[in-house]
Chains A and B, each alone.
Chain A
Amino acid sequence: MTWRYRLIFFFLLLAFIVIIIRLFYWQVVKAQELTELAKSQYASAVKILPKRGEIKTSDGFPLASNKISYLVFANPKEIKNKDETSTILYKILKIDQASVSAQLSLDRFWVPLKADIDPKVKDEIESLQLQGIGFEQQFSRFYPEASQAAHLLGFVGKNETGEDKGYFGLEGYYDRLLAGKEEYVVSAHDALGKPILSQMRISSGRTDGSNLILTIERPLQFLVEKKLKRAIEQYGAEGGMVGIMDPKTGSILTMVSFPSFDPSNWPDYSQDLYKNPFISDTYEPGSTLKPIIMASALDAQVVLPQTKCPICGGPVTIGDYEMHTWNNKYTKDITMIDTIVRSDNTGMVFVAQKLGLERMTSYLQKFLIWNFTSIDLQGESAPSQKPKNLWYPVDLATVGFGQGISVTPIELLSAFSAIANKGRIMQPHVVSKIESFDGKIATLEQKAIVAPISEKTAKIMTEILVNAVDKGESSWAKPRGYRIAGKTGTASIPVAGHYDPSKTIASFIGFAPADDPKFIMLVILNKPTTSIYGAETAAPLFFDLARDLLSYYGIPPSE
């Protein structure tokens, strides 16, 4: 009998050992694999994209916001009738049937069909209950004011990995702040796909993008865009730009340029239109540079307002070149004040020669000519200064009246603001505050960059410019009762080594009220055809806008 007990005991022991080995195999050796399999059944990891920050004007209205849209995707392996599906979808999605068919014929589990579709279109497709078609929720950029301030905003495109990326303007410059951080959420769900409350929901911490609050005044931006568009048509110009800044803070109140583009349909436009010409394009400023040169000469005390020009009785000859006034009228012993009033080129040649190359280039550098203003917009350019050994006497002379030198409009506006702001140039900027996703607001500091001239010089120059507006060629357009300081410009355009005789860049730059400036404005019309002169095109537009600005700010006439 004992041997029977031993035999049974042996088999039982063997069975236990086999079970233990098998348990060891499933619970230790295969543990990791089974855990992953279980997780894939009840847990899911979802990537949640952050909401891109909004770009708002100073009154809190968003110029760039976000709307919910959808990406339509397909699982070709689940679609039985691909032809029928592509026929239905291409009509609703308004894309080529060939591209839909091509995507559905791929041997994949997931293919995108179209992004950025409306919730209504999504509902329409969903109601058809097509097999193998799904939707991913996205955010896409939405512009409540349509194409307003397009150059300021830039646009949102895709990078190499297909993620949203800002290009040009504010979207480009502040891309990282606006983008935010994506989140990965791992959550557990039951066999029906419903969430399990007791299971931990792990989140990697999404942060939505920060919002930008601009210095831009929305009503002014709207008004200026409307009036500039009208003026371009009225004067038969190829395009135009207006920039308005608060000279005391450097805040950009308005920046407009045409031709422009629609940021919500940016691929439909030529790439040349994406860059903001106010900060990217260079031009020869012509007479609008004269106040900068004159202010430099006054500050260096090489001339006084009443200094008389001994060479201004006729054209000035330098080497093989002859410098004329714009109207071929010459005044012997013209004063510096009248040189600006009459925009006398020969008077400015005299001033430039009195300054000399060294001092003139030094002052221009201090005025930030040939330098970046570092405005917070992507795409700024700054032409560089010609090496000193390449300057000839005729170059010194022509720069005196704003030809033979290239600037960007923002450079000129910044430089001129020194005259309006007691000799100091403030850092131009478009963003005043940054609002983080959790509501914290950071105010950006306003700072003075440089003081190229003294307060006394700025005051003298202001009076000269007020005189220029009151007695100059554009005095007929000036609003009555206000002291406005300004200067017209009619700049020739260099073409293949010479200047185009029939086309100009007409401009006007000025600030008001002269004694306590609330704004400084630069108006540029590119190749107007009704008249080539700034006094007859850009100046009337400037004064029309100035009238509106003075009314907007509630500034009564002082005279």
Chain B
Amino acid sequence: MKKPVFFITILVLVAISLTIIQTVLSNRLSTTGIPMGEIEEKIDSYRLQNSILEEQLLTVSSLTGISERASQLGFVEEKSLFVMKKSYALASKP
């Protein structure tokens, strides 16, 4: 008779403990929405900044952009090419 009472008591205690744990955890989770919302806003903000910076980077590194900048800085097109058909020594023993 004592054994069944013991098991029932244990089960009841476990059920009560689990209920308390669930209540505590749910309570904690329910307020995580605020920081999570802030994190999501930050992520969106970084994504937007990344997109804007990427756009600027691509525009500046485009050949069209570089060419315009080069002509503003005074660079000119080369008019002729010099071809070296074989290797030439820079220095040699006398």
Residues of A within 8 A of B (CB): 61-62, 65-68, 119, 142, 144-146, 148, 189-190, 192-198, 218-219, 222, 226, 481, 547, 551, 556-557
Contact = CB atoms under 8 A, between A and B. Distances in A.
Contacts of B29: 196-198
B81 A222 contact: no
A144 B83 contact: no
Given A67-B55, A190-B30, A198-B26, 4 more contacts: A61-B58, A68-B47, A195-B37, A196-B33
A125 to B, nearest CB: 16
Chain A CB within 10 Å, residue with most, of B30, B33, B65, B83: B33
Interface in B47-63: 47-48, 51-52, 54-55, 58-59, 61-63
B63 A145 contact: yes
Contact of A197 (B32, B47, B62, B81): B32
A197 B58 contact: no
Contacts of A119: 48, 52
Contacts of B32: 197
Chain B CB within 10 Å, residue with most, of A144, A189, A192, A556: A144
A222 B36 contact: no
A193 B33 CA distance: 9
Contacts, number: 70
B33 A68 contact: no
Interface in B37-94: 37, 40, 47-48, 51-52, 54-55, 58-59, 61-65, 67, 81, 83, 85
B81 A551 contact: yes
A145 B59 CA distance: 7
22 contacts: A61-B61, A66-B51, A67-B51, A68-B48, A144-B55, A144-B58, A144-B62, A145-B62, A145-B64, A195-B37, A196-B30, A196-B33, A197-B29, A197-B32, A197-B33, A198-B26, A198-B29, A219-B63, A222-B64, A547-B81, A551-B81, A556-B85
Contacts of B5: none
Contact of A144 (B30, B59, B85): B59
B52 A68 contact: yes
Contacts of A145: 62-64
B8 interface: no
B33 A189 contact: yes
B63 A218 contact: yes
A254 to B, nearest CB: 13
B25 to A, nearest CB: 9
B24 interface: no
A55 to B, nearest CB: 13
A142 B64 contact: no
B1 interface: no
A194 B63 contact: no
A144 B47 CA distance: 19
Contacts of B64: 144-146, 148, 222
B83 A556 contact: yes
B55 A190 contact: no
Contacts of A197: 29, 32-33, 36
Contacts of A551: 81
Contacts of B34: 192, 194
Contacts of B40: 195
A418 B31 CA distance: 72
A275 to B, nearest CB: 23
A190 B33 contact: yes
Nearest to A223: B63
Nearest to B38: A194
B79 to A, nearest CB: 11
A315 to B, nearest CB: 44
Nearest to A193: B37
Contacts of B62: 61, 144-146
A195 B37 CA distance: 6
A119 B56 CA distance: 13
Nearest to A57: B63
Contacts of A65: 54-55, 58
A557 B84 CA distance: 10
A68 B83 CA distance: 47
A142 B55 contact: yes
Given A145-B63, A222-B63, A556-B83, A194 B55 contact: no
